Structure 1
Amino acid sequence: MTDPDTLDAFLMQRRRLMGAGLAALALPAMGKNRSGHATTPDAFDTFVAEQMRLANIPGLAVGLAREGNVRLVRGYGYANIEKRRPVTVDTQFHIASITKTVTAAAIMQLADDGRLTLDEPVARHLDFPLNNPNHPTAPITFRELLTHTSSLSDAKYYEIDFRVRGQDATLSLSDFLKNYLVPTGSVYSSDKCFSKAMPGSTWDYSNVGYALLGYLASRIAAKDMRQQTRERIFAPLGMHDTHWRLSDTPRRRSAIPYDMIDGVLKPLEPVGFPDWPAGMLRSSVADFTRFVAASANGGTAQGVRILRSETMAQMLDMQTPIGLPDWLTGQGLGWMASRLNGAVKPNHWGGDPGVFTAVYLDPASQAGVVLFSNASASSQSKSAIRSIASRLLSVDAHG
């Protein structure tokens, strides 16, 4: 891989997305305040505008949190190019794999409650058998699922496009998992649904593993994890524009996803998929910066605690399992780490056709940043996102 810093490069390659040429797209960048109205351009706005121009990013929303509070949220460019609808701080973006940090937080809340322990076998909580046929006596644990070392493989997952265009998936999470992980399942493959590695031994990024975590959270709490997160994370933090389902996401405020095809940005339909705990969340930067504020501040934001400080520290305690790619410096519980401008930062990236997102944390300064864009990743946009993230972490609340 030519871009060793990003998870997105890895995921997008495995989805075998169409290679895209680049064309100049001169869109005006519009700084927005909390109400979505244009602000006076400043040095940060000018910097973001230039990065967007160079990377052909149609729309971008950015957020900065410090010491548990949201300090800055702004929108730039267009959520809908054709209608010239601008990005505001309330524009809904598909955040893709950043969703995994929320799923991990839900699991850790249950651990804080004493409902599970990280090193216990997860099979005892399931209504179907689970074991790696290559290592049938080795249990799979919560910690292994959280750190992508469970031996659940996405090889078969990437052969089958489970996404549904324009609507929520009709296949349930339960049926998706049973079809994939149980020998009698319709898509089961002992060679492609599980790796040859022993559980706990080797890093292998797994969307299926995070889908299973969401299912486990629902069974353990006897409540759908989507409802759990609404009650225990979103509502307490005031995140009223964060949704698990396409049907709940206001289309009039959603960013249109774009892919570069034959040198032109083309709109795509939004997608739904059954493995929703792995990447289905839609959110606004005004909302999600609140969650990132808590993640960078020991589990507390705006006076609301969603996780114990010890638990949040545990999530950001980075390990280096065998197989960890060289573009990562560590793997935590839900969170990863890599270098940003020479310094190691916990982070997570997200990517899908028409979607490119990133969050970075700096626990030492209790700061975090959020960047949502509505175009497929390119080498230029990856560079732009890193540059903007680095700049955000160095500015104050006024840019």
Structure 2
Amino acid sequence: MKREMQALMGMLLMAGASGGGMAASLDQELAAIAADPAMPLASLSVLAVRGGKVRYQYQTGQRRIGAAAAPANADTLFRIASVSKMMTTFGVMRLIEQHQLELDADVSRYLGYALRNPHFPDQPISLRMLLTHTSSLRDEAGYFWGADVAIRDRLTGGAAGMWAGDHGPGGYFTYTNLNWGVIGTIMEKVSGERFDRLMKRLLLEPMGLRGGYNPSEFSPEEIDNVATLYRKRAVDSEVWNPDGPWIAQVDDYGVRPPVAPAGLAGYVAGSNGTLFSPTGGLRISAADLGKIMQMLTNHGRYQDRQILQPESVALMFRQQWKHNGSNGDTHRGLYHSWGLGSQRFDDRRLVEGGGFSAVGHLGEAYGLISTFVVDLRRSNGMVSLIGGTGADPDRNPGRYSAMTRSEERILTALYRHAILGR
């Protein structure tokens, strides 16, 4: 009887917008959140996994607004911002499995030059430090450069803001995008492949995932289904206007198609891993993120392929750093515990009333807000991709977390209805 009830619940949840009952109610709740005039959302794509199976998917809003208006759908690709860091880390773990990388080796051996914080020149920097934001690198001097720039010149040139002067490598946590530019460079160095194509080989193609880190190589169908990211403010202004028009920020491919980075034809792999943004540049759909979530809940296996070894999955999400009050910057309470390229959440920070402990990653850039959180022990998880915000997120803070109120409402609704089945 219990098994029959579970099957019935699954059918109800999978009914989506076309069905009744719980799924239809959840559709309505999410649509109301997206249309809330206090913080309207340009588009929203969500997915919930329960017991290792996709139980619910829903999309609302427009992937493109204006003359080329088009609705978001299950296959719409979003630039997922910093959730990309976790996806890049899957590629790192595969290279570790292949014995091309070691977590605790001095990364200078991979780069071919000494990577040192000039304030702490005797302390080596390891891949583990880069993956846990404890390398002592900082973002103030930038973390993205074009194909004509050698990252070595930036890392070793002594630029102000590139390195912490008060904390050396190895213990103090500061969330730093540049870590992933260095990681991408290392991946290119040891493989001899350009980062965007390497990630297709290591992760996207083995799992049959669409999108990638380089839209200029997308198929016409993929380009047509990339979500433009929006804000209700100008591209070059910090003034938000919830009553104004949606202004495209990035990926406005309904107006102009993507082009390859300037100078790409002469680019040498391993000279500048920031080029394809390992830190935030992956375009992927909620549906395909659901496949990755299923792979993780199945100990690294997806369908008939072992993508990651179970030991790699366990290691990646095992705690590597925890805030003790003085060993890191929590960014207004957002960061408390970290794995390898992954964030760890206790049961009080994701859903109202608590009860959902998870690992994963969050992202925010250009109006997009992204969430990938999974409880590996119970095989439950949630994906939320917001394609644009119409009001300043800092003026719409969460009630019980460091997230925005929209994120809190979306995750709580998904958890209560699609996972708990209430």
> TM-score when scaled to structure 1?
0.80
- Determine if the alignment matches structure 1 residue 79 to structure 2 residue 89: no
Residue 350 of structure 2 is matched in structure 1 by 340
CA contact (8 A) 2:213 2:276 kept: no
1:394 Cα offset (Å): 4.2
- Quick one: which of 356, 375, 391 aligns to 2:413? 391
Residue 17 of structure 1 is matched in structure 2 by none
Distance 1:248 1:155, change over 3 A: same
Unaligned runs of 5+ in 1: 1-31, 163-168
1:126 Cα offset (Å): 0.6
Residue 199 of structure 1 is matched in structure 2 by 169
Q: What amino acid is the match of 2:283? A: R
Distance 1:39 1:176, change over 3 A: farther
Note the 1:1-399 alignment, pairs <5 A.
39-40=18-19, 42-54=24-36, 55-82=39-66, 83-157=68-142, 162=144, 171-172=146-147, 175=149, 177-183=151-157, 188-189=158-159, 191-196=160-165, 197-239=167-209, 241-249=210-218, 250-261=222-233, 262-263=241-242, 264-270=244-250, 274=275, 276-318=277-319, 319-320=321-322, 322-325=327-330, 326-338=333-345, 339-341=349-351, 342=354, 343-376=356-389, 378=393, 379=396, 382-396=404-418
Q: Distance in 1 between matches of 2:377 and 2:129?
A: 27
Q: What amino acid is the match of 1:298? A: H
Structure number with bigger Rg: 2
1:204 Cα offset (Å): 1.1
1:146 Cα offset (Å): 0.3
Q: Distance in 1 between matches of 2:205 and 2:362?
A: 24
Unaligned runs of 5+ in 2: 1-12, 234-240, 252-260, 262-273, 398-402
Q: Distance in 1 between matches of 2:85 and 2:27?
A: 30
Deviation per CA, 1:43-63: give whole Å up to 9, x if none.
110110121122301211112
Distance 1:299 1:393, change over 3 A: farther
Q: What amino acid is the match of 1:266? A: W
Which secondary structure does the structure 1 equivalent of 2:196 belong to? helix
CA contact (8 A) 1:336 1:347 kept: yes
Which secondary structure does the structure 2 equivalent of 1:117 belong to? coil
Q: What amino acid is the match of 1:47? A: E
Deviation per CA, 1:75-102: give whole Å up to 9, x if none.
1111123244111011121111111011
Q: What amino acid is the match of 2:82? A: S
Q: What amino acid is the match of 2:207? A: L
Q: CA RMSD, aligned part only?
A: 2.7
Q: Distance in 2 between matches of 1:176 and 1:69?
A: 44
Q: What amino acid is the match of 1:361? A: V
Decide which moves more: 211-220 or 383-392: 383-392
Which secondary structure does the structure 1 equivalent of 2:373 belong to? strand
Distance 1:72 1:257, change over 3 A: same
Q: Distance in 2 between matches of 1:292 and 1:209?
A: 24
Q: Distance in 2 between matches of 1:309 and 1:266?
A: 44
State the identity as a percent: 25
Decide which moves more: 376-385 or 46-55: 376-385
Which secondary structure does the structure 2 equivalent of 1:62 belong to? strand
CA contact (8 A) 2:380 2:419 kept: no
Decide which moves more: 342-351 or 99-108: 342-351
Q: Distance in 2 between matches of 1:368 and 1:340?
A: 11
Q: What amino acid is the match of 1:247? A: S
1:69 Cα offset (Å): 4.0
Deviation per CA, 1:238-281: give whole Å up to 9, x if none.
20x22211313443212121112233242224268735111111
> TM-score when scaled to structure 2?
0.76
Distance 1:397 1:368, change over 3 A: closer
1:214 Cα offset (Å): 1.1
Q: Distance in 2 between matches of 1:382 and 1:65?
A: 22
Q: Distance in 1 between matches of 2:109 and 2:287?
A: 39
